[in-house]
A = this chain, B = another copy of it.
Amino acid sequence: MDGLFTRHRQLVDAALAAQATRGFWAPFSEIPSGKIYGETAKDDGLAAFEALRGKAFVLSGHPETGRVGREVSPFGPALGIDYPVASVEMLVAAAKAAAPDWTALTPSQRTGLCVEMVVRLNRLSFTMAHAVTHTTGQAFAMAFQAGGPHAQDRALEAIVTAYADMARTPDRAIWNKPQGKAEPIVLEKHWRIIPRGIGLVIGCQTFPTWNSYPGLFASLVTGNPVIVKPHPSAILPLALTVSLMRDVLAEFGLPRDIVLLAADQSGQEITQDLVRHPDMAIIDYTGSNVFGSWVKAHAPQAQIYTEEAGVNTMTLAATDDFAGMCANIAFSLSLYSGQMCTAPQTLFIPVDGIDTDQGHKSFDEVCQALATAIDDLLSDPARAAGVCGAIANPATLERLQLLRERWLGEGGRVVRDTAQLATGGRTATPLLLAANAESTTLYQDECFGPIAFLVAVRDADAGIARAAQLARQKGAITAALYDLDEVRIGRAIEAFGLAGVNLSINLTGNIFVNQSAAFSDYHVTGANPAGNASLTDTAFVANRYRVAMWRRPTAV
């Protein structure tokens, strides 16, 4: 087993070096190309996915008392796959039975095994892309990237962060304390990593792998068995993950039940029972603030790491590339139909408009230009489908219509209406709503999905102040600013920094506020209500284990 760590040592070292400098580094290629993944990879992935459909998903040796699974692709068909289901007590018992063999390994051994799992997940990227597409509604290219290599990047990042932190404590030391003219006191001391207990990872529907892998691998590499609880509508990506991980464990003579799947389905959810179980020592949760608050209130026994939601803002103050700005924002709003935790939602625009390279643009002109930029982006049906994907959850569309009505009822107006794509599936293009900041407060709450509020404010400073205040109060994962006034930019940097939100300034071209790159961007700061943890800092890993020592006198 030590051979695995040796085999992956270079990758681990490179990852740590990248993390320290935080420049661009991507160990797993995001390009779904046969040249990189093998000429038959694309076809093989599709075939593998098709072979899974309409069948019982096999998890060798997994606890099982029945079967669940009603996943339906946002693009249409039911997947027809069912998964083993077991009671919470059975899952906990299985995890506890498997734990000692995992705890007994050294941090290096566990690191080697976890990296091996990630490397093998990389080879599964095409299959995973189809699984992610047909559970989340992401278009294929995005599903490949976010569900595959980008999620694998985040997994590796969590593994090496935990490895480096564990490695700060040596295995042993000689403690030699001088005693003046008398013989010194000499002790040998030995330290070991003590895992906390069982880790529980609660996945979300929209990014089942990307958001789950960090907690999953951070808990695992620090010695804890992990129970993976997928969203009932996006089980397959995590079932594939768990299956692969269990196979790796078995291949190296370890109990498969070190990683378990807690599948359920709507109406028979088991998440609350899992969260409240006294043996659940670590919980990683991605999802709504409402359920996040419930988890935090009902699991006093557990270390809890959350990514919840917030109100991501953009403040438009000025630009020297009006077309580039509008195109960039249009893409940010349209990508995966706004179903990203990093997608902008509330755009503050000075009521008197903004200065641009195309002259002064009034508030209405800016609104119209954004609408037109979205129309342009989505004018080609194939490209529109590739950008927007489909809507993961039907409730998103209902909420959108409800909010549209309320917005109009409060005197706001529609700048651009949402529409279905021509390519089929459950789709929706961005809905743009405009109003004055004082006329409604609806823009101050999160509304998940393809919607953006264009809010007229007194001036750019007022927009920055409102945006930072919203981040503090409601949480925010991203903020964006378009501005040319360096002094005001400085004020914005200060305001958003203290509000604990990562700020992107003047993005144009092929880089978007939605994007968060492993090994460089920390995802979520943990400093506002959008989440209490950050991917991946030391705080995310350091409390998943403790250290115990024994010492005794030894000869010098």
Contacts and interface: CB of A to CB of B under 8 A. Distances in A.
B189 A551 contact: no
B24 A175 contact: yes
Interface string A237-271: 00000000000000000000000000000000000
A35 B410 CA distance: 80
Interface in A516-556: 517, 520-522, 525-527, 534, 537-539, 542-543, 546-553
Given A185-B511, A511-B185, A542-B539, A520 B173 contact: yes
Interface string A492-507: 0100111011111111
Interface string A184-210: 010101111010100000000000000
Interface residues of A, number: 65
A552 B493 CA distance: 11
Contacts of A507: 552-553
A174 interface: yes
A505 B551 contact: yes
A378 B345 CA distance: 74
A552 B21 contact: no
Contacts of A509: 185, 553
B194 A527 contact: yes
A547 B520 contact: no
B551 A194 contact: no
Given A23-B174, A498-B194, A538-B165, A185 B505 contact: no
A479 to B, nearest CB: 9
The number of times this chain is found in the oligomer is 2
A10 interface: no
A169 interface: yes
Contact of A506 (B501, B549, B552): B552
Contact of A500 (B497, B502, B546): B546
Contact of A493 (B21, B177, B543, B550): B550
Contact of A194 (B20, B497, B547, B549): B497
Given A538-B165, A543-B543, A552 B170 contact: no
Interface in A149-195: 165, 168-170, 173-179, 185, 187, 189-192, 194
Contacts of A501: 548
Interface of A: 19-24, 103, 165, 168-170, 173-179, 185, 187, 189-192, 194, 196, 296, 300, 493, 496-498, 500-511, 517, 520-522, 525-527, 534, 537-539, 542-543, 546-553
Given A22-B189, A187-B511, A189-B521, 9 more contacts: A165-B538, A185-B511, A191-B522, A496-B548, A505-B550, A505-B551, A521-B551, A534-B546, A539-B543
